[in-house]
Amino acid sequence: MRIVIIGAGVVGLSIARVLSMYKGLDIVVVEKEPDVGWGASKANTSIIHPGHEEDPELHPLRARLCVEGNKLWRQWVKELDIPAKWPGELMVFTNSEEEKEALRYIDTARRNNVPGVRAVYGDELRRLEPAISPMAVGAVYAPTAGNISPFEAVAALAENLVENGGRILVNTLVKSVRIKGKAVEGVETSGGFIQADIVINAAGVHADEISHSAGVEEDFVIKPRKGEYIVFDEDTSVKPLRLLHTTPTSLTKGVYAITTTGGDLLIGPTAVDMPYELKDDTSTTLEGIEYLLREAGKLLREVPPRSLITRTFAGVRPEPPHGEWLIKVYEEPWGFINVAGIRSPGLTAAPAIAYYVADMISKSYAVSLERRSDWKPYRRGFPRLHGKSLREIDELVSVNPDYGEVVCYCRTVSKAEILEAVKRIKTIGAQVTLDGVKFRTKAGFGRCQGSFCRWRIAGIIAGLEGKEMHEVIVKRERYGLGDVKKMLREGT
Ligand SMILES: Cc1cc2nc3c(=O)[nH]c(=O)nc-3n(C[C@H](O)[C@H](O)[C@H](O)COP(=O)(O)OP(=O)(O)OC[C@H]3O[C@@H](n4cnc5c(N)ncnc54)[C@H](O)[C@@H]3O)c2cc1C
């Protein structure tokens, strides 16, 4: 039986991982971008939420799958070797109105069986978080919150899927779902027709369009809600120990100030509803930056100067009507499944969503899911030069001399890591791009933002692929100004 999953984000690939555990399924993930994880799954706050912010009466499924997802990630990050931390989170309040709002979540935690959620004040708050702002009156502490490296999570899921026999087709845009009679027949894509017995729609902000093409949920329209971020230089003195955030509003879970698994100070997101046609707009704005810096003052004792901002970026939330995830199996067209409008806490819930979908397939379509005995749960990352002692570096270099050649000085990334990243991109069937290498190695994440290393990495890729340097792809566009030799030849 062939199952086509549309979208190689954390949701699509988590579903693919769980389905790959069973016998007799041919799993094909179809992705419009050159690589996996380039939608919301790469550009989010990276929090594995405890589940105390999901109202079990208003959103029972979201609440349940968030709590289950938090538990499952603890196992998955070990199996897949994904960078993760579990420092707990502090929902900070700065006045009595915010305090009243924040304390409500202690009751929500109780109703969702989230352990250890309580209010903290004064010395205890400052002991838990030495970097806390003097504006903070108190906080609601949720000890089971964590954060992961979201891109590495997606890359790891992709590698593990391919290891278990699944396939990923990149640069393949799904145009529509083809229906024959009362059942799905497959998907029409930019690369031709792909037959499928079951089609799972996990297309992020574009999932409503896919659903409409299958003739279901005509009223289901995804509203794009942009979230902007700022990232500070690795050397900033303020690095919160916990995951700090302001008291939530009706639009968001608040603005966070966190130390990422890579060691950067990240502040965000904003929450701005965008016109429908700007679903893929990830531009950032001066207003966004100003707002985040102001909000950060409620969280941190000292907000670093803006001269230490190394990067701004944005992600787009796929906001469904009434905030309700659409996870549904259809009798007609038989074989079509929506996993659409997966807004926050979709990263957290992804593993639990995946088991939920597998269960729906087995129950609704009477597919008997029998576990494979040869399924491999593990995937290993590769050694990093960054943060290693001299003795450890010596050991790495003695095994692989390319670890002795530093390519990115800001983040101490070696040639060996660049080569390994390229190898892994090819293994999952993705296209080698400068961004794909950057997100897998962190080369270009530092102070100079790749001004020094980018051309060197382009040179390595060009050498490996037998290309000219200008032919190397950054994200979708080519690297550099153009074909210099041709320009010289033609005198342009
Ligand atoms: C600003 C922001 C902050 C967030 N913070 C958190 C957080 O801290 N914790 C948390 O739990 N959640 C968070 N979330 C939510 C979380 O990021 C999402 O719920 C999750 O990433 C959704 O994953 P997905 O796979 O459904 O979507 P995506 O990652 O967007 O994946 C969808 C994929 O489908 C592909 N695609 C789309 N259309 C087509 C097509 N026609 N053909 C082929 N491919 C297609 C896209 O290219 C994309 O790769 C946040 C989201 C945002 C935007």
Q: Which DSSP letter does residue 280 get?
A: T
Give distance in angstroms: CA of 203 to centre of ligand 1: 8
Q: Token pair for residue 364?
A: 């609704």
Smallest CA separation from ligand 1 atom 19, residue: 346
Name the superfamily (CATH) of residues 1-84+146-222+320-381.
FAD/NAD(P)-binding domain (3.50.50.60)
Q: Please say if 49 is a catalytic residue.
A: yes
pLDDT at residue 195, as a whole number: 98
Tell me the best of 157, 194, 344 to mutate to test the pocket of ligand 1, counting ligand atoms within 8 Å of each CB and taking the most.
Answer: 344
Q: Which residues line ligand 1 (CB under 6 A)?
A: 6-12, 30-33, 38-41, 44-47, 49, 173-174, 202-204, 206, 210, 227, 269, 315-317, 342-348
Give the per-residue pLDDT at 251.
Answer: 64
Domain boundaries defined on the chain: 1-84+146-222+320-381, 89-143+227-309, 390-490
Query: Judging by DSSP bridges, how do beta strands 174-180 and 167-169 pair with one another?
Result: unpaired
- Beta bridge mates, 408: 413
Task: Report the residue among 11, 17, 252, 357 best suited for mutation to probe ligand 1: largest number of ligand atoms under 8 A from its CB.
Answer: 11
Mutation to probe ligand 1, out of 178, 206, 228 (largest number of atoms < 8 A from CB): 206
Residue spans of the chain under pLDDT 70: 251, 480-485, 487, 492
- The alpha carbon of 79 and the centre of ligand 1 are apart by a number of angstroms equal to 22
Q: Which residue's alpha carbon is at the smallest distance from atom 2 of ligand 1?
A: 44
Ligand 1 atom 34, closest CA: 7
Across 58-164, the runs of DSSP E, i.e. the strands, are: 84-85, 89-93, 118-121, 138-142, 146-148
From 3.20.20.140, 3.40.50.1260, 3.30.9.10, 2.60.40.10, which CATH number describes the 89-143+227-309 domain? 3.30.9.10
Nearest CA-CA partner of 168 in 33, 24, 340, 21: 33
Q: Which pLDDT score, from 0 to 100, does residue 196 have?
A: 98
Residue 39 CA: nearest ligand 1 atom is 30
Give the amino acid at 198.
I
Task: Please identify, by atom number, the ligand 1 atom nearest to the C-alpha of residue 37.
Answer: 49
Q: How far apart are CA 3 and CA 29, in angstroms?
A: 8
Tell me, what's the pLDDT at 10?
A: 98
